[in-house]
Amino acid sequence: MTAQNLLVELFVEELPPKALKKLGEAFATVLANSLKAQGLAPADAAVTAYASPRRLGAHVVGVLARAADKPVSQKLMPVAVGLDANGQPTPALLKRLAGLGADASAVASLRRAMDGKAEALFFDSVAPGAELAAGLQKALDEAIAQLPIPKVMTYQLESGCALPGWDSVQFVRPAHGLVALHGSTVVPVKALGLAAGNATHGHRFEAKVDPVVIPNADAYAEVMQKEGAVLASFAERRAAIARQLQAKAAEVGGGCRPIEDDALLDEVTALVERPNVLVCEFEKQFLDVPQECLILTMKANQKYFPLLDAQGRLTNKFLVVSNISPADASAVIGGNERVVRPRLADAKFFFDQDRKKTLESRVEGLGKVVYHNQLGTQGERQQRVSAIAQQIVQLWAKAEPQRMQLMNDVLTAAQLAKTDLLTDMVGEFPELQGIMGGYYARHQGLSEDIAFAIEDHYKPRFAGDALPRNAVGTVVALADKLETLAGMFGIGNLPTGDKDPFALRRHALGVARMLIEGGLPLQFHELTRLAFSVFANGKLQDTVVQLDEFLIERLKGYLKDSGYSVPEVDAALYARQLGFWSTVPRRLAAVREFQALPEAPALAAANKRIGNILKKSEGVGDSVNAALLKEPAEQALFAAMQATVPGADAKFEAGDFTASLQALAALRAPVDAFFDGVMVNADDPALKANRLALLQQLHRAMNRVADLARLAA
């Protein structure tokens, strides 16, 4: 059972580029895992995935021609059922043995062992190891069946048949070849109507020979590169493209660099088998168009890599990843330059046409664009966003009166934020919504604050995205997200499982991030209620509590992703006086430092105990009568609180949550002594009420920064 390396390649027509990376990884992973599960490959066998536009492949190290035999133990039945009073096999046992290919002669060798409370009979045998041909066939079938195919094609086998629909195959693309080599030996497997061999095809135009014969499994990558002109490994091809992009940008000079876009790099890697990066250029007059438009059209439509200068500005040069390497590349360069020119001309035309109308003149048109059949038009939505934004400014001004100065700019930005949806440029490139509104606002002389707000009101667009750049944009972005959340929750369009068509999770995360990272003095529950208030009566269901819970869950997720534990997050969020979400990071830092104190575990446990006592008691007051403190331990605790709590409260009011919590550490000893020496539920009602009041004061003092009980083990 000598181990040799295995190669499998499926040669197909051009695979969908956006899915190629996943297809290649899945094919190799499933195939290798199946071989490992059958004992044909070691559990730690190295696996190399190959994926190019016309092939999926896998190289697995150390594959056996035949797996080792395995001992198998099968439970048959209880001894009392299988053997009669004389120890002879019953008909039931003989029938079971026959089903396993054994007869009465095997009875003497059956093993007895306890199975629960009864003794059972077990049949021990040896299962022969899987042969490679059968094992690989099983693995190949599983790999093909489990491919994450975006859309299946049905096609006829080349052998064909007179009757349509016969001998048809379903796969992501028509397959034309199968290679399966164990060392240098062809493994006789079949897939998609193809029999395995040792020959495949290289580059469609530049292969030196056709077909390309693979002498052994380990020679695959080298032979494909030298004779087939194909870099079969997706990862190696991607790295080669990245190197060439950087090298060509350096040749251009001036500190130029290709735009960074991993998704574009993956897609281009999936489009070529022998990458060759070339430098092209377009007329400088197109640089008058906003660079976002030019970059998007080059990336999305042509799969080009725009070049940026040292300051991050778009240049009139771009990089093309060609699939051929002619001695004279001028025809390839010229062809790509001719292709991109009409795209850029269209962008310039849209930009020039859009600027002929002001954003204000487009406001009326929003009333003709349906936003949602239950929530009305974009015009109605714009009015709701404006109303929410106005109220946010008023709430903000309660804490910071100078914020009232934002009102005019906020209302203007909120009114114009969606108007670029009616422009030709955004109609052609929806990804530019907001961005183009900012450009058009500047063109007509509006302030930078308003232009930034129009551009930024969609932010954060995704996890890790930047927040709006100014206060005006923050208000409009908050209003826009709150209107969406309230509207969708109010009509029952809630996220379910992994489905979130209206990106409500992203909107909720954006609200949480703006409140926290922006340090806004706004109560989230006030924001959700004012968001519901701007909708007409009867339009929405009363789901504001559900929305509150949804926002809190997204906040928890955000904090956990930031590195805080579940107990830390729960403690900070369920403090007695949480206040603004902007205080949560400081509370979390205080909780983390408090947990490092030696007194923390005992105080957290005591706080939990106090909470349980108070929950079981009714009508607990918070006024302590010092004259009723009879026991030394309760007197000591009261004195310690008198000495400690005022200072802790002062630190809390000053916003120094860490110092506030650390000051309470001095209460550990008197708290422990209190529970050791004082009976809270005294027979005397007055003593009991006084002791409960003392605990009430202590509980309130301990839970201002965080709910310490949630830190208890």
318 shares a domain with 299:
yes
Alpha carbon distance 11, 180 (integer Å)? 11
* DSSP bridge pairs for 257: 308
Confidence category of residue 42, pLDDT binned at 50, 70, 90: very high
Question: What burial letters (b/e) apply to 32-55, b meaning 16+ CB within 10 Å?
Answer: bbbbbebbbbeeebebbbbbbbbb
609 shares a domain with 546:
no
Q: Is residue 210 part of a domain?
A: yes
555 shares a domain with 595:
no
| Domain CATH code at residue 667 | 1.10.730.10
Segments forming the whole domain that contains residue 661: 585-711
Within 13 Å, how many C-alpha atoms sit on residue 166's CB side? 6
Q: Is residue 569 part of a domain?
A: no
Alpha carbon distance 346, 314 (integer Å)? 18
Q: Are 57 and 86 in contact (CB under 8 A)?
A: no
**Domain end call among 300, 332, 354:** 354
Position 5 scores a pLDDT of 95
Distance, CA of 602 to chain centre: 38
pLDDT at 490 over 60: yes
Sign of the Cα torsion 246, 248, 250, 254 reads negative
Position 162 scores a pLDDT of 43
Q: What is the pLDDT of residues 528-574, one digit of tens each?
A: 999 999 999 888 999 999 999 999 999 999 999 999 999 999 999 98
373 secondary structure, DSSP code? T
Rounded alpha-carbon distances, angstroms, from residue 521 to 143, 410, 515, 588: 55, 17, 8, 18
Alpha carbon distance 555, 549 (integer Å)? 10
Within 13 Å, how many C-alpha atoms sit on residue 611's CB side? 17
Position 158 scores a pLDDT of 65
The residues, any chain, with a CB within 8 Å of residue 253's CB and separated by 6 or more, are none
Rounded alpha-carbon distances, angstroms, from residue 6 to 160, 201, 412, 584, 683: 31, 19, 67, 56, 83
- 107-111, 172-176, 506-510: the lowest-pLDDT one: 107-111
* Residue 301: φ, ψ to 5°: -90, -35
pLDDT at 173 over 50: yes
Confidence category of residue 166, pLDDT binned at 50, 70, 90: low
Rounded alpha-carbon distances, angstroms, from residue 289 to 349, 426, 445, 488, 495: 9, 14, 18, 37, 39
Alpha carbon distance 23, 143 (integer Å)? 10
Alpha carbon distance 168, 158 (integer Å)? 10
Burial of 575 (0-12, 13-18, 19+ CB in 10 A): buried
Alpha carbon distance 691, 681 (integer Å)? 8
Distance, CA of 274 to chain centre: 32
Residue with more model confidence, 591 or 575: 591
Angle between helix axes 471-490 and 504-517 (nearest 10 degrees) is 140
Element (H, E) at 359: none
Position 164 scores a pLDDT of 52
Within 13 Å, how many C-alpha atoms sit on residue 126's CB side? 5
Position 159 scores a pLDDT of 55
Name the E strands within 68-174: 70-78, 111-115, 118-127, 153-156, 168-171
Q: How many CB atoms lie within 10 A of CB 361?
A: 12
Q: How many CB atoms lie within 10 A of CB 101?
A: 8
Confidence category of residue 1, pLDDT binned at 50, 70, 90: low
Position 476 scores a pLDDT of 97
Q: How many CB atoms lie within 10 A of CB 22?
A: 15
Confidence category of residue 277, pLDDT binned at 50, 70, 90: very high
412 shares a domain with 493:
yes
pLDDT at 668 over 80: yes
pLDDT at 682 over 90: no
Q: What is the pLDDT of residues 386-423, one digit of tens each?
A: 999 999 999 999 999 999 999 999 999 999 999 999 99
Which amino acid is it at 432? L
Which residue from 223, 216, 221, 214 is spatially nearest to 240, judged by alpha carbons? 221
The mean pLDDT value for 465-484 works out to 96
493 shares a domain with 397:
yes
The residue whose two tokens read 């049949």 is: 123
* Structure-block tokens of residue 352: 């020039």
595 secondary structure, DSSP code? H
373 shares a domain with 313:
no
148 shares a domain with 8:
yes
Rounded alpha-carbon distances, angstroms, from residue 432 to 226, 312, 359, 515: 44, 18, 15, 26
Q: Are 32 and 60 in contact (CB under 8 A)?
A: yes
Q: What is the pLDDT of residues 110-165, one digit of tens each?
A: 888 888 888 898 988 877 878 899 999 999 999 999 999 888 888 877 654 444 54
498 shares a domain with 377:
yes
384 shares a domain with 515:
yes
Evaluate the omega torsion of the peptide bond into residue 326 and state whether it is cis, within 30 degrees of 0.
no
Q: What is the pLDDT of residues 606-627, one digit of tens each?
A: 888 888 888 888 778 878 888 8
Q: How many CB atoms lie within 10 A of CB 201?
A: 18
197 secondary structure, DSSP code? B
* 383-389-392 Cα angle (round to 5): 145
Q: Where would I find the H helices in 187-233?
A: 220-226
Task: Kindly report whether the global pTM for this prediction surpasses the value 0.85.
Answer: no
Laid out side by side, the sheet with 3-12 consists of 47-52, 55-64, 3-12, 175-182, 185-186
Sign of the Cα torsion 24, 30, 36, 38 reads negative
Q: How many domains does the chain have?
A: 5
Q: Are 6 and 50 in contact (CB under 8 A)?
A: no
Element (H, E) at 619: none
Q: Is residue 576 part of a domain?
A: no
User: Following CA atoms 475, 478, 483, 486 in sequence, which dihedral angle do they give, to the nearest 10 degrees?
Assistant: -140
* Structure-block tokens of residue 79: 């001894």
Q: Is residue 274 part of a domain?
A: yes
Alpha carbon distance 162, 165 (integer Å)? 9
74 shares a domain with 63:
no
**Domain end call among 164, 192, 226:** 226
Sign of the Cα torsion 627, 629, 631, 635 reads negative
Q: Is 109 left (phi over 0), alpha (psi -120 to 50) or beta?
A: alpha
The mean pLDDT value for 4-26 works out to 95
Which residue from 702, 692, 528, 504 is spatially nearest to 599, judged by alpha carbons? 702
Q: Is residue 251 part of a domain?
A: yes
Position 353 scores a pLDDT of 96
Alpha carbon distance 89, 102 (integer Å)? 13
* Residue 371: φ, ψ to 5°: -90, -55
Q: How many CB atoms lie within 10 A of CB 383?
A: 18
Q: Are 76 and 123 in contact (CB under 8 A)?
A: yes
Position 160 scores a pLDDT of 47
pLDDT at 108 over 50: yes
Q: Is residue 597 part of a domain?
A: yes
Position 116 scores a pLDDT of 83
Position 675 scores a pLDDT of 87
pLDDT at 29 over 50: yes
* DSSP bridge pairs for 3: 64
111 shares a domain with 137:
no
pLDDT at 583 over 60: yes
379 shares a domain with 502:
yes
Alpha carbon distance 678, 229 (integer Å)? 86
pLDDT at 233 over 90: yes
**Domain end call among 306, 325, 354:** 354
pLDDT at 672 over 80: yes
Q: Where would I find the H helices in 227-302?
A: 234-252, 262-269, 291-296, 302
Q: Is residue 424 part of a domain?
A: yes
The mean pLDDT value for 332-340 works out to 95
Q: Is residue 574 part of a domain?
A: no
